[in-house]
Chains A and B, each alone.
Chain A
Amino acid sequence: MRQATPVAGRCGLGDHDRRLQGEIRRTQENRIVRMAGYIEGRNVSLTFRPPNRAPLRALGGFDIAVEEGEFLSIVGPSGCGKSTFLNVVLGLTKPDSGEVLMHGKPIGGPGSDRAMVFQEFGLLPWRTVQHNIELGLELKKVPAEKRRATAERLVVLVGLAGFEQHYPHELSGGMKQRVGLARALATDPDVLLMDEPFAALDAQTRDLMQAELLRIWREARKTVLFVTHQIDEAIYLSDRVVVMSKRPGRAKKVFAIDLPRPREYEMRVTPEFNDLKLEIWNTLKDEIVA
């Protein structure tokens, strides 16, 4: 299977790099993006060894090159190591072998140049919206005055003005994830890591949040690594979509999504969109073990 599509497989890394080197692409919004390995995963392997259970090979030689300012989605079957890879980029998990580089330097631990938006929101229930957003700044010892100013700005950006003093249990799922997003943006990271951020939301809220995310991404200009199960979501949001193999996860194929931006909901019913969807599904379905 891998031999048939050696786009970003283990042996395909060299080709991939050469293809990317110095290449310049102009996006629909006239943003000039230099195609260089901004975040690079090289042959990343990781095995979980839970006590009293069989070891679990989550990642088995995962290669990836993320460009600066890019919106890149990773789709793959359940348990293929998508979230594990995000945790490695975040610096919370160390791979057994291989390495993840950012700006050409290996990632040693958490840093304020990266921030994660968690699937289950991960808001501190005893803190108000404002103080949840300020969390990262507080740990960076930013003065209270500056923290509040940042939180006030972000509350508006994510559309939660008026809810600053609410506690998480008083918010809906969509609102909670808006807080999660604002909290991640508060430390002004270069890279946003999003681990199935909308999976816990209902379908309509999810559609709305996707549009909101694109708006915020346009304004905040971050590199986004987005993990999802939904092919629709991946195509709608991304510049590129990486399809992963089943566990132990490897990059199986990379799809460039050359659909115009800014994207509207209507784009989801165009033939181009559906062609991509079918193509990605055909790549993905062999990996899904029912």
Chain B
Amino acid sequence: MAETQTLDARVAALGGADAAPHRSLWRRIEPAAWGAGSFLVLLLVWQFVPYFVPLKPGTRLFFTVPSRVAATLWQMIVSGSLWAPLGVSATAFAIGLAIAIVVGLPLGILIGRSSLLNAMFDPFITAFNATPRLVFLPLLMLWLGIGLWSKVAIVFIGALFPLLINTYEGVRNGDKLLINVVRSFGAKEWDIARLVVVPNALPFIVVGLRLAIGRAVLGVVVSEFFGSQEGLGVVMVRAASGFQVDVVFAGLIVFAGLSLLMTGLVKLVEDRMTRWRPEHVNAP
């Protein structure tokens, strides 16, 4: 009962905050404002380093400032030289991540619900998870070539495990009482998964998805660095060997943007699916 009381108190507190809109607005944007502010300061310091620190001509070759990176990125966007390599990278990313989701979610649920499957799969999952997945890259390139599919494969195995393991953990954390409730109404295993287990595991699945997105981007970048014909990573490697530091930074920003965009998308979906919660911030 104490639990509900604190919840009620929290709901009441939220209502009270609405009564004073100015304070609540600042309170809501305060962390974001501090974050943006410190980022801006960092950019400014970086921008003005050349004015304060004397750089040798050799060092100057490997140095750039934010304004030049921005100009280069803008140039790549308007000239269209960004889109073809980004398309190649994004394709590998999207296909690999999609397969990882399609395989990882159901498999995580199955392994979480069945002790037999858990016993069968556990050695593989533990062994694979303990191995840095990028070590498979030379093999995958040998088997699948240096085109799209070796990249897809490396994205897939990178994204699969965080998804699989988090889904599994979420399913194992299923509320026994709620499972009994739906069973008492005649629910079969499929209904139990649909009505209780998956909604219950959702916060875990979301965490898994966020990690998977990071691993997927990593997979694309590294496989393109390692050896590939096309893609944004290839552009970055070539630019680096030609001392075009701003292009490397531009590529970095695009990859970061891709990752942020996907994570934001996940957050959006999560918010839509968890509107029933008293607060939207209690993901583990």
Contact = CB atoms under 8 A, between A and B. Distances in A.
Interface of A: 90-92, 110-112, 115-116, 118, 120, 122, 124-128, 135-136, 139-140, 167, 169-170, 172-173, 176, 187, 200-202
A112 B186 CA distance: 8
Contact of A120 (B177, B183, B187, B195): B177
Given A110-B186, A139-B191, A169 B7 contact: yes
A139 B1 contact: no
Q: What range describes how many residues of B lie at the interface?
A: 20 to 34
A111 B183 CA distance: 10
B38 interface: no
A92 to B, nearest CB: 6
Classify the interface of chain B: helix, strand, loop or mixed: helix
Interface of B: 1, 4, 7-8, 11, 177-178, 180-187, 191, 195-196, 199, 274, 276-278
Given A90-B184, A92-B183, A115-B184, A127 B177 contact: no
Contacts of A128: 276
A110 B185 contact: yes
Contacts of B177: 118, 120, 122
Contacts of A172: 4, 8
Contacts of A176: 4
A122 B276 contact: no
A202 B1 CA distance: 8
A126 B1 contact: no
13 contacts: A115-B185, A116-B184, A124-B196, A128-B276, A136-B185, A136-B186, A139-B182, A139-B191, A169-B277, A169-B278, A172-B8, A200-B1, A202-B1
A128 B196 CA distance: 14
Contacts of B278: 169
A122 B186 contact: no
Nearest to A170: B11
A151 B263 CA distance: 39
A131 B236 CA distance: 53
